[in-house]
Amino acid sequence: MRISHDKLNKLAHVIADTLAETDECEFREDRNTIRQEARKMLEKLFADELKIDQSARLKVQSHKKNIPEGSPEWEILYRKYYQEEVKKLGL
């Protein structure tokens, strides 16, 4: 999934703000450091998701018969391969 720089920053702010408001959470660093770490984690998560998506799509495309994207068969195979890639990465 592609996400804009601004939206990623907004998500990181929401995460840091939510953690700051949670009684069970105590910061050992300032809020900006927490926000930056949340942003890094989100960037990695979205990059991993993109790799998983691309790998699953390549596997579906590698079938001998040409399966049209969006068809029920394509969707089933895509979900299957997507889950395999998620398990491979341990996510």
Domain spans of the chain, in order of start: 5-89
User: How far lies 72's CA from each of 14, 32, 35, 67, 81, in Å?
Assistant: 37, 45, 40, 9, 14
Q: The whole model's pTM is what?
A: 0.76
Sign of the C-alpha dihedral, residues 63, 69, 74, 80?
Answer: positive
Mean pLDDT over residues 60-85, rounded? 92
Beta strands in 16-67 (DSSP E): none
pLDDT, tens only, 27-43: 888 889 999 999 999 99
Q: Give Cα 53 distance to the centre of its chain.
A: 10
